[in-house]
Amino acid sequence: MTYARKWVSDLKTEEPIGKTEMGLKARFLKRAKPVFGVFLALCLVALTFLPPPLLATGASSGVGPAQLQALKAQVERIRGIRAPDSVRLQYLSRSGLREKVLENLREEKSQKELTSAEEIMKMLGLIPPDLDLAKLLVELYTEQVGGFYDSEDDALYLVADAAEMNVMDRLTMAHELVHFLQDHRFRLDRAPFSDKDEEVDDDRLFAASCLVEGDAMLTSQLWARDHLSPHELMQLGELSRRVPTDVLDRAPRYVRESLLFPYQGGMEFVARLYRKGGFAAVDRAFEDPPRSSEEVMHPDKYLSGERPLEVDIPPLGLEGWEKAYENVLGEFDVYQLFSLFIPDHEAKRAAEGWNGNRYAYFRVPEGGQVLACVFLWDSALDAEEFIVAFQSHLESRFGGRLNPRVDQGWKLVEVGGYFYAWDLKGERARLIQTNSHQALEQVKSALGGTEGEPSGDEREPEKTRDVSGWRFTAVAALVASLFVLGLLLAVFILVSYRRRPKP
């Protein structure tokens, strides 16, 4: 659901991974290439743990076609992929980049998607209610985009005011050349790397982007190890400290983390594959990409073949309401939401065990909003932990203890200008958030209740929940036996005290 990641992927010349359309989940925050400060910091830190290179070579600050092809050949040897076509380098100024961002934002489709993204993020408390998301994204990408690969003309774009490359630019181009090779070998215009030809859920698109970016991060680090001199590495560190990060630093945490995770989390995921089987294992992942952020966050789940379940949302009975968006919230989104309001370890525990989701967002021109979510979890205990964390995050967000009332298994509260409802049944958890009481009742009626079943805090923990049948009978018999035994013992003691002592 990382909604702000979506829009940037529609920029034709800002595509860092070859036109990989990312859906509302990934299009708005995913596409800065690279996020200079983080990208360079990760490379510098990783280089300290890599084995020493066999040979370190330098290069001049300027670059021509021959130098670019030489750089391409270096990256090809490291990554083990060859692209027969030559690649071109073009330069773009910051002002030119800003204009392209604004041009894309003016498109009707982008405006609608961005409006939905902003409304949902504000409902959930992921961004402040007074934030202008469009303005933030324009500023963010104008500041942070360093380069990109455009698959339509097989060109690498370097965002710089002068037609020359310093060591930072060369590292950026090495990263982008990996995307060039990926596109030619694996076709990044197909699902799940793209949603152009078929509907792909946002969490799956985000997971695929983590694979693509993680591969580029690891390969560019290996290139820097082998082809940058110690002096150039020192220059890289100095240049990284000059990169402006004012906009990135003040961006809401969810926006910032959604932008950075494909680099950080993606690199950890790909490094796990690389340690297991080299780049051959990474290549196999492109043929069978991760289908959820859960698999990226927990690589062993991907390696064991654990995949998310499909979840459906039935018709909600909202006649006259516009369904503005429907998609998937992944483990990454759940963790990010909870971590804003409850301790980090509790947020991680509540997000783990995710097994699938579907949500739908409805609105009306008068301002009515409805967000309905259905989650599946690995176990009933995982589902219960999620519900407990959900209530805790509401209490932290709005600053007060909640005392939900129960109606047919649904727990209901009104707080912060919204009506909330949630219920729990086995491994399934359902949530409703709306500013319309009438809509709340309609959605509850459409989804149906779980009357007669305890929910939320009323449930016993899973490990002690099954005490029906013979277990209950055995416990009752034991209690009765102990009661009779205690009664007999009391009679014996009473008789003993009343007995006269012997003469």
Predicted local confidence at residue 157, as pLDDT:
86
Residue 476's pLDDT band (cuts 50, 70, 90): low
Predicted local confidence at residue 162, as pLDDT:
65
Name the residue among 162, 93, 120 with its Cα closest to residue 28: 120
Question: Which residue has better confidence, 414 or 14?
Answer: 414
Name the least confident of 79-83, 139-143, 470-474.
470-474
Instruction: Note the pLDDT tens digit of each residue in 113-167.
Output: 889 989 999 999 999 999 999 999 999 999 988 888 877 777 888 887 666 678 9
Name the residue among 254, 190, 183 with its Cα closest to residue 212: 183
Instruction: Note the pLDDT tens digit of each residue in 341-389.
Output: 999 999 999 999 999 999 999 999 999 999 999 999 999 999 999 999 9
**CB 226, CB 53: distance < 8 Å:** yes
157-161 contacts at long range (C-beta below 8 A, 24 or more positions apart): 157/13, 157/89, 157/90, 157/91, 157/92, 158/89, 158/90, 158/91, 158/92, 159/91, 159/92, 159/93, 159/94, 159/97, 160/91, 160/92, 160/93, 161/93, 161/94
Predicted local confidence at residue 275, as pLDDT:
97
Name the residue among 244, 242, 225, 201 with its Cα closest to residue 47: 225
Q: Report helix, strand or coil for 89.
A: strand
**What proportion of the chain, given as a percentage, has pLDDT over 70?**
75
69-72 contacts at long range (C-beta below 8 A, 24 or more positions apart): 71/170, 71/173, 71/174, 71/177, 72/177, 72/180
195-200 contacts at long range (C-beta below 8 A, 24 or more positions apart): 195/21, 195/22, 195/23, 196/19, 196/21, 200/23
Residue 3's pLDDT band (cuts 50, 70, 90): very low
Name the residue among 46, 59, 39, 38 with its Cα closest to residue 225: 46
Q: How far is CA 46 from the centre of its chain?
A: 23
Is pLDDT above 80 for 470? no
Cis amide linkage into residue 65, ω under 30° from 0: no
- Which tokens sit at 262? 């494909």
**CA distances from residue 33 to 50, 149, 175 in whole angstroms, order as listed:** 23, 9, 9
Is pLDDT above 60 for 18? no
**CA distances from residue 436 to 150, 186, 347, 412 in whole angstroms, order as listed:** 45, 47, 28, 13
Predicted local confidence at residue 483, as pLDDT:
54
Instruction: Note the pLDDT tens digit of each residue in 306-318.
Output: 999 999 999 999 9
**CA distances from residue 206 to 2, 140, 213 in whole angstroms, order as listed:** 9, 19, 10
Beta-carbon count within 10 A of 211 CB: 27
Q: How far is CA 350 from the centre of its chain?
A: 15
Instruction: Note the pLDDT tens digit of each residue in 42-73.
Output: 444 444 334 333 333 333 344 567 888 999 99
Question: Which residue has better confidence, 273 or 501?
Answer: 273
Predicted local confidence at residue 480, as pLDDT:
56
Question: Which residue has better confidence, 494 or 268?
Answer: 268
- Tell me what the pLDDT averaged over the chain comes to: 81
How far apart CA 291 and CA 305 sit, in angstroms, is: 10
H-only helix segments in 80-194: 94-105, 108-124, 133-144, 167-186
Q: Report helix, strand or coil for 239.
A: helix
Is pLDDT above 80 for 220? yes
**CA distances from residue 110 to 23, 143, 329, 348 in whole angstroms, order as listed:** 11, 20, 20, 32
Question: Which residue has better confidence, 471 or 392?
Answer: 392
**CB 248, CB 141: distance < 8 Å:** no
Query: Using alpha carbons only, what angle is made at residue 393 by residues 4 and 385, rounded to the nearest 5 degrees?
Result: 105
Question: Which residue has better confidence, 456 or 142?
Answer: 142
Q: Which residue has the tokens 């990454």?
A: 332
Predicted local confidence at residue 6, as pLDDT:
35
Instruction: Note the pLDDT tens digit of each residue in 246-289.
Output: 999 999 999 999 999 999 999 999 999 999 999 999 999 999 99
**CA distances from residue 131 to 136, 244, 325 in whole angstroms, order as listed:** 8, 21, 21
Is pLDDT above 60 for 478? no
How far apart CA 354 and CA 382 sit, in angstroms, is: 8
Residue 501's pLDDT band (cuts 50, 70, 90): very low
Residue 34's pLDDT band (cuts 50, 70, 90): very low
Question: Which residue has better confidence, 299 or 488?
Answer: 299
Q: Which residue has the tokens 């500013």?
A: 435
